[in-house]
Structure 1
Amino acid sequence: MTAAQDVLHELEALGSEQTRKTYRRHGVTEPMFGVKFGDLEKLRKRLGRDQALARALWQSKNHDARVLAAMIADPAAFDLDVLRSWQAEAACNMQSDTLIGQLGARLPAAHTAVGPWLDAAGESQRRAGWVLVAHLTQDSPDLEDSFFADLLPRIEREIHGAPNRTREAMNRALIAIGVRSDALARLATASAKKIGPVEVDHGDTDCKTPDAVSYIAKAREHRAKQEAKQPAAKKSAAKAATAKTAAKTTKPAAKQSSAAKSRAR
């Protein structure tokens, strides 16, 4: 039995119908076992980075295996072509979002993938582009703020006419941009006020669409308080933690497992 088969058997044992029902409400399709993200996180810690295993799990087409594959894949073994290939094969937003969150923004020159995805005809690729933007705000501190500022007029023009899940990701990106810096907070808040309320149909879930203006303000206030309490050496860590929170802005009111916070229940 291969390592991938061992992991698949373990995933099957961890699955439950209750979790499968939750995932179905969020657009996940068969095959899947229905493994909670908390259990996937435990497996990730135990397995570590393993590109060969990740590739085999991804090729299985099982949803839980693909999410785990994205979590254990080695960024050093990826390039943008491989990322685009895996993203195109993703069967649902959860797979695509995990792939981009775990790998996409960590790749060299990841920002060059944004434009082609945002211009793509398919909703999956367009959403992927905005999810990548949100993660780049936290994972690419060397990017100039102008990269993100230049995207704000596009969000203003396109968000209300965008497909439902792309619209959700655009709002999420708008918030993440605003949380990145004081200058971007002013620009993103102005854009959010022009845009007004953003309506997203979350289906039969408890997910809610956050108001960008209030969320940006609260996140920036929280960051300022945290940085004021910490020595200078720790301020960069606090900044990254706040930005990471901003990249996961759509969440249900009830408690939920860690990696599914933006979408589960």
Structure 2
Amino acid sequence: MNSNEVLLELESLGSEPNRKVHARHGIRGPMFGVGAGAIGRLAKRIGIDDLLAVELWASGNHDARVLATRIADPAATRRARVQAWAKDLGDHVLADALAALVTRSPDAAALREAFTAAGDEWRSTLGWNLVALACAEGSTALDEELTRRLAAIEAGIHGRPNRTRHAMNRALIAIGERGGAIGKRALAVAKAIGTVEVDHGGTGCKTTDAVTAIRARTHRPAKRTRSDRAERS
């Protein structure tokens, strides 16, 4: 498929109710109002097509840009491209979608460093989303970086822009869910900072309480392995 064909298909998948939902989430500018499920199915059909992703992002259409993040080649998503695309961010939906791509980039660690320090709302939201996603890595090699992230959260979360606070809170929870010493430190930070206020507009969404979320995760019984079950049989 070429970019014109994809844009026509996206337009056919859009709806007025979805456009209203998107607007409540702060999405502005050109959009068709395509649901996340439809974009996911279209991305699966297309597969990885990096050139098409670049063309779709350049279209300026919100739905096309979300799709672009799903079909871009992570290996080709290097620092220069991400910095250019990050300048176009204007809502948390696209910031989340871009983070899911960038976390698989060879430059992910450097981009986390650059964007968490950014002063504007959307690039810093991207950066802290990347911190949260990095926590899925099981290696303790990340703990030194995460200790620095916790210090930054404790020192400054309440003074950051609205959606940056949300992303920092998300990162705090993700760090806490790693457990161990770093998880205990995250829980202490969550208690110290208290309630994180985020304006979710007219969406009805709520900000997850970090203390509650971390405790729920760390107190959850570990899943029994096959060997555990075999020993009990």
Q: TM-score, normalised by structure 2?
A: 0.91
How far is 1:108 from its partner?
2.0
Matches within 5 A, 1:76-225: 76-101=75-100, 103-139=101-137, 141=139, 143-222=141-220, 224-225=221-222
- % identical equivalent positions: 45
Provide the rounded CA distance (Å) in 2 between the counterparts of 1:139 and 1:48: 25
Instruction: Give the aligned partner of residue 31 of structure 1.
Output: 30
- Kept after mapping to 1: 8 A contact 2:176/2:186: yes
Provide the rounded CA distance (Å) in 2 between the counterparts of 1:231 and 1:29: 52
Distance 1:141 1:79, change over 3 A: farther
Instruction: Give the aligned partner of residue 44 of structure 2.
Output: 45
Instruction: Give the aligned partner of residue 231 of structure 2.
Output: none
Q: Which residue identity lines up with residue 28 of structure 1 in the other structure?
A: I
- Kept after mapping to 2: 8 A contact 1:106/1:139: no
Instruction: Give the aligned partner of residue 54 of structure 1.
Output: 53
- Kept after mapping to 1: 8 A contact 2:77/2:102: no
Provide the rounded CA distance (Å) in 2 between the counterparts of 1:46 and 1:3: 13
Provide the rounded CA distance (Å) in 2 between the counterparts of 1:64 and 1:208: 24
Distance 1:230 1:108, change over 3 A: farther
Distance 1:207 1:213, change over 3 A: same
CA RMSD of aligned residues (A): 1.8
Residue correspondences, number: 228
Q: TM-score, normalised by structure 1?
A: 0.81
Distance 1:207 1:231, change over 3 A: farther
- List per-residue Cα deviations over 1:64-109 (Å, max 9, x = no partner): 00000001111111212211111112232211220111x2111224
How far is 1:139 from its partner?
4.8
Secondary structure of the corresponding residue to residue 214 of structure 1: helix
Secondary structure of the corresponding residue to residue 116 of structure 1: helix
Provide the rounded CA distance (Å) in 1 between the counterparts of 2:166 and 2:57: 26
Instruction: Give the aligned partner of residue 257 of structure 1.
Output: none
- Kept after mapping to 1: 8 A contact 2:18/2:33: yes
How far is 1:20 from its partner?
0.5
Instruction: Give the aligned partner of residue 255 of structure 1.
Output: none
Q: Which residue identity lines up with residue 165 of structure 1 in the other structure?
A: R
- Kept after mapping to 1: 8 A contact 2:120/2:161: no
Secondary structure of the corresponding residue to residue 180 of structure 1: coil
Q: Which residue identity lines up with residue 4 of structure 2 in the other structure?
A: Q
Distance 1:137 1:18, change over 3 A: same
How far is 1:162 from its partner?
1.3
